């Protein structure tokens, strides 16, 4: 396990070494430096960090304001450096402000200055209007392109941002700030290879830049290069050990490769640096096999009593405290915290349960026996993929671990590629507009399906490290695209991981997902989602009989050998004893069940939902009739 060591000389290095364990002394060190060198920027940054570590948020804000005063309004490089430092410290709001001031300081044109001012004030509609008007008159202005890309990134219009930044770099290859933005936008869109190329270009110029190193480590982790990702995080933290979110990300990567004790130390280090970092508390809870101490629970309660923490920290703390109380058997209090965490998270997302219900009906109308019969010879003949679909927390990671213990099968991750190919099928539209999918499949030429099957395989290739004959894509949401998968990869295997509706939905309600799964933060939404999923799977069972193999979690737990043999028979592979000893497989696992599947199957979790049954009325009502028709339990 990497231990933080100082990487700077003299007093600043000593202050940073003190920061994690003795923040009060780090504050004293920073103040001593400032007595000698008034306004020294690195000392002010250290002072801000030390005060924040002691929960002195008023003092930390004062230090940040003093730090801002040391940077002149026209000091573009200074604002950018501050943004990089604040990003590394996990202060995204202050970092956004610094980056916006960096952009404002970078421009001289009065029109662009006005747009930059709007961007600083987060008046995105105004900034976008001004920038689009400017670019009509000055179509090759790379500064304006970068600013417009920034407005797009802030509203998650990453495709637009990518095109703008790509064009800016064609015109000005040395535009470093645009390249950094470009790498980040590519990463957010899962275009990992392209993102890594851009980050490596940046690191050639600035090999010690913390922001670049952190981004590179994140990209490497996403594409399964965990050893290199760990090395990148260790390099970063050796140079600057005072970064709580870098310690947390380091912990995530250690967890993925099974180094649990070290991941716990990394998470605890991030909490020591930033005690209100709710995501690190949740990361400990999300190990599933981890147990909080009473001191941990008291610390979480103390953070929740504060009025100045971010809502994101607050809902993460509620989820984590819910897990701590659950482990202690305090189910009523546990559910109360889960409910509070979910309610806070639900406020921040847009989810309409009617959309999935409508999409299921449209899929039923399009994907008929006649539709598939007319396209029976379409699609790629390749047999490589094994899709595991369903709801999260239904046993898909267990199935993946079992299958990946076979000599011919490689486990990968929840691949986004099917959804990306589906999205690219239709013309550009606003998020509020109705999609043309799946009706747009009716008009496609048959040869396109084979091309899309091959495209999927090309996109997935980066995750296939072992080059085995078969690989697993366990993106659960792909149940919505079974008809499309049948068209482009008719020989691929499809496995439906299913679990008792109350057990599955409650497990989702107790889970905070890093991204996606927006249906999971309300019991009624959850029930409707499960019901729609079950309805769609029933439809495909009828129109594609025998095409999908279903694994009921309860049956797998009760009789694993029989279920594993049936699973391998469906995959047309010989039985191997190693699949029964899946818990001995030391492969990287990137989901919430990573620690659970490194243990033998246990039965205690099957009926665990009954502890919470008193509070599941809305879920039961929304599930009807899916609850009554479930064949197990």
What mean pLDDT value characterizes the chain? 88
Task: Please report the sign of the dihedral spanned by the C-alpha atoms of residue 38, residue 43, residue 48, residue 52.
Answer: negative
> What pLDDT shows up at residue 6?
37
CA angle (81, 83, 87) in 5-degree steps = 120
Query: What angle do the packed helices 192-205 and 176-188 form, to 10 degrees?
Result: 150
| Whole-angstrom distance, CA of residue 596 vs CA of residue 593 | 5
* Alpha helices (runs of H) in 10-71, residue ranges in sequence order: 10-21, 23-36, 41-53, 57-69
Is residue 617 packed enough to be buried (19+ CB in 10 Å), middle (13-18) or exposed (0-12)? exposed
Closest CA to 460 of 499, 494, 424, 414: 414
Contact 511, 402 (CB under 8 A): no
Question: Cis (ω within 30 of 0) for the bond into 512?
Answer: no
* 175 vs 506, residue with greater confidence: 506
Closest CA to 226 of 258, 194, 203, 181: 258
Q: For tokens 């430092």, what's the residue?
A: 85
Question: Cis (ω within 30 of 0) for the bond into 128?
Answer: no
Closest CA to 183 of 173, 196, 167: 196
Query: What's the token pair of residue 167?
Result: 């064009």
Residue 594 has pLDDT above 60, yes or no: no
| Per-residue model confidence as pLDDT tens digits over 350-365 | 999 999 999 999 999 9
| Whole-angstrom distance, CA of residue 396 vs CA of residue 496 | 8
SS3 of residue 387 by DSSP: strand
Strands 470-473 and 493-498: unpaired
Contact 131, 147 (CB under 8 A): yes
Residue 1 binned pLDDT confidence (cut-offs 50, 70, 90): very low
Among 60-64, 127-131, 306-310, 567-571, the range with the most confident prediction by mean pLDDT is 567-571
> What pLDDT shows up at residue 103?
73
Contact 79, 66 (CB under 8 A): no
Q: Which long-range contacts (CB under 8 A, 24 or more apart) does 168-173 make?
A: 168/142, 171/140, 171/142, 172/142
DSSP class of 591: S
Using left for φ > 0, alpha for ψ between -120 and 50, and beta otherwise, residue 435 falls in beta
Residue 243 has pLDDT above 80, yes or no: yes
* % of residues, the chain, pLDDT over 70: 92
CB within 8 Å of 10: residues ≥ 6 apart: none
Which helix or strand (DSSP H or E) is residue 8 part of?
Answer: none
| Whole-angstrom distance, CA of residue 44 vs CA of residue 42 | 5
> What pLDDT shows up at residue 100?
73
* Alpha helices (runs of H) in 559-614, residue ranges in sequence order: 560-570
Residue 92 binned pLDDT confidence (cut-offs 50, 70, 90): low
pTM for the predicted model, two decimal places: 0.81
Query: What's the token pair of residue 128?
Result: 């976008």
From 466-475, 587-596, 616-625, the region with the lowest mean pLDDT? 587-596
> What pLDDT shows up at residue 3?
36
Q: For tokens 């919505």, what's the residue?
A: 480
Residue 431 has pLDDT above 70, yes or no: no
| Whole-angstrom distance, CA of residue 502 vs CA of residue 492 | 30
Strands 493-498 and 548-552: parallel
> What pLDDT shows up at residue 121?
84
| Whole-angstrom distance, CA of residue 77 vs CA of residue 492 | 52
């Amino acid at each position: 396990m990497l231990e933080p060591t100082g990487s700077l000389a003299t007093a600043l290095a000593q202050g940073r070494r003190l920061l994690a364990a003795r923040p009060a002394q780090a504050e004293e060190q920073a103040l001593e430096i400032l007595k000698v060198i008034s306004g020294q920027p690195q000392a002010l940054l250290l002072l801000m960090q030390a005060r924040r570590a002691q929960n002195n948020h008023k003092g930390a804000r004062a230090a940040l304001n003093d730090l801002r005063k040391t940077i002149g309004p026209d000091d573009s490089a200074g604002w950018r450096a501050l943004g990089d430092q604040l990003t590394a410290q996990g202060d995204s709001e202050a970092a956004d402000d610094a980056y916006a001031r960096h952009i404002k300081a970078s421009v001289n044109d009065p029109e662009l200055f006005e747009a930059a001012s709007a961007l600083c004030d987060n008046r995105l509609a105004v900034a976008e209007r001004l920038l689009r008007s400017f670019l009509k008159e000055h179509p090759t202005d790379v500064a304006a392109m970068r600013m417009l890309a920034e407005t797009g990134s802030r509203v998650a219009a990453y495709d637009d941002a990518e095109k703008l930044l790509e064009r800016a770099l064609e015109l000005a290859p040395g535009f470093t700030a645009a390249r950094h933005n470009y790498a980040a936008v590519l990463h957010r869109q899962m275009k990992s290879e392209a993102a890594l190329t851009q980050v490596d270009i940046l690191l050639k110029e600035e090999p010690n830049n913390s922001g670049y190193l952190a981004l590179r480590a994140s990209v490497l982790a996403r594409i399964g290069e965990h050893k290199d990702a760990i090395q990148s995080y260790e390099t970063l933290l050796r140079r600057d050990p005072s970064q709580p979110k870098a310690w947390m990300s380091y912990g995530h990567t250690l967890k993925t490769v099974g180094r649990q004790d070290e991941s716990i130390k990394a998470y605890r280090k991030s909490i020591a640096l930033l005690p209100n970092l709710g995501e690190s508390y949740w990361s400990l809870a999300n190990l599933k096999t981890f147990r909080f101490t009473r001191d941990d629970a008291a610390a979480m309660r103390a953070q929740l009593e504060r009025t100045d923490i971010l809502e994101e920290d607050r809902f993460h703390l509620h989820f984590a405290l819910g897990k701590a109380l659950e482990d202690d058997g305090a189910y009523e209090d546990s559910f109360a915290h889960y409910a509070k965490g979910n309610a806070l998270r639900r406020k921040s997302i847009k989810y309409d349960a009617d959309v999935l219900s409508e999409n299921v009906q449209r899929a039923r109308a399009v994907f008929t026996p006649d539709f598939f019969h007319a396209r029976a010879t379409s699609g790629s003949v390749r047999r490589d993929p094994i899709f595991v679909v369903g709801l999260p927390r239904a046993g898909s990671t267990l199935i993946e671990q079992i299958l990946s213990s076979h000599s011919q099968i490689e486990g990968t991750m929840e691949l986004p590629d099917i959804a990306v190919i589906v999205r690219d099928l239709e013309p550009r539209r606003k998020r509020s507009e109705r999609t043309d999918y799946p009706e747009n499949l009716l008009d496609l030429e048959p040869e396109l399906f084979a091309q899309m099957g091959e495209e999927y395989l090309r996109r997935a290739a980066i995750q296939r490290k072992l080059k085995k004959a078969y690989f697993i894509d366990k993106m659960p949401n792909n149940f919505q695209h079974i008809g499309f998968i049948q068209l482009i990869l008719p020989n691929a295997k499809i496995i439906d991981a299913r679990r008792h509706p109350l057990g599955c939905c409650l497990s989702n309600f107790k889970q905070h997902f890093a991204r996606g799964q927006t249906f999971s933060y309300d019991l009624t939404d959850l029930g409707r989602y499960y019901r729609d999923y079950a309805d769609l799977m029933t439809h495909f069972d009828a129109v594609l009989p025998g095409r999908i193999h279903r694994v009921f979690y309860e049956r797998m737990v009760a009789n694993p050998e029989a279920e594993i043999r049936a699973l391998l028979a469906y995959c047309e592979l010989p039985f191997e004893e190693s699949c029964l000893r899946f818990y001995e497989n030391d492969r990287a696992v990137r989901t919430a069940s990573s620690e659970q599947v490194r243990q033998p199957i246990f039965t205690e979790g099957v009926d665990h939902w009954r502890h919470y049954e008193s509070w599941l009325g809305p879920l039961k009502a929304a599930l009807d009739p899916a609850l009554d028709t479930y064949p197990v339990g």
